Amino acid sequence: MADFTDEKILLKEIKDGNDQAFEFLFKSYYPRLRGYASRFVEDQEAVRDIIQESFLKFWEKRELIEAISVSALLFAMVRNACLNYLKHLQIVEQHNVEHLASIAGREELYSLDFNPSPEYTLLYNELQEQVNVVIDTLPTRCREVFIMSRFDKKKNREIAEALSISTTAVEKHIAKALTTFSKHFKDKYPLDIYIVIIAWLLSD
C-alpha cells in the first residue's frame, strides 16, 4: 500500500476517489477513534457503528471537504455522533456532562459539546446565530432542501419526492448550501471552530 502520511496528499487522493488512500485513513485512525469514542459510549458495538458511519459520511462527502486537518475533522465527526447517540438514549445527565468535560489530552477540543461552562454556552449561541444567518442567505429552494436534510433528517430520495425534483438536484442544493456554510465560517472563525462547524454539517 502506498504511503499517505502527508495529510494534504492523503486528502487530495481521497477527494479523487482513491480507495487505497481511504483504506489507509481508516486503518490509521480507527484505533484512536475507537478509544476516543469509548470514553463517551460504553457499548462497543455502538462504538464500532458510530466510527464506521463517520468514515462512510467522510467518504460520501469527500468532495466538499476543504484542505483542513483530516484527523481533527474525523474526531469532531465521531464526537458529534457520540453525542447524538447519547441524546437518543436520553442518558446525558449533568454528572455525565461534567465527567466528559473534564477529560484531558490533545482531543479535549473535540469534546466541546459536552462542556457546560458559560464560555462555551455563549460560543454555541453565537454559532447558532451565524448558522441562521447563513440559512437566510440561501436561495429559497436551496434553503428548503437543506432544512429538510439537516434538521428534518430526511433522506435525499424523500426530499426529492416531497419537492418533485430529482435526487441529483437535491444533492446539488445540499452541496451549494455546504459550500456557503464553509466559506462563511472559514472567513469569520479560527480553524478549530471551523472544524466543529464542518463536522456538524457532515454529520447529518
Domain ranges (residues) in the chain: 1-113, 115-203
Q: Please give the average per-residue pLDDT across 20-38, as a whole number.
A: 90
Q: What is the largest CA-CA distance in the chain?
A: 49
Task: Give the whole-angstrom CA distance, residue 6 versus residue 177.
Answer: 29
CA 22 centroid distance within chain: 17
Domain covering 115-203 in this structure, CATH number: 1.10.10.10
Interacting residues of 128 by C-beta distance below 8 A, sequence separation 6+: none
Of the given ranges (49-53, 108-112, 116-120, 196-200), which has the lowest mean pLDDT?
108-112
The pLDDT, as a whole number, for residue 8 is 80
Q: Give the predicted TM-score (pTM) of the model.
A: 0.62
pLDDT at residue 203 is higher than 70 = no
Digit-coded pLDDT (tens) for 146-176:
999 888 888 889 999 999 999 999 989 988 8
Digit-coded pLDDT (tens) for 97-147:
444 444 433 344 344 444 445 555 566 677 778 888 999 999 999 999 999
Interacting residues of 89 by C-beta distance below 8 A, sequence separation 6+: none
The pLDDT, as a whole number, for residue 2 is 59
The pLDDT, as a whole number, for residue 165 is 94
Domain covering 1-113 in this structure, CATH number: 1.10.1740.10
Q: Is the dihedral of CA 175, 131, 33, 5 positive or negative?
A: positive
pLDDT at residue 25 is higher than 70 = yes
The pLDDT, as a whole number, for residue 151 is 83
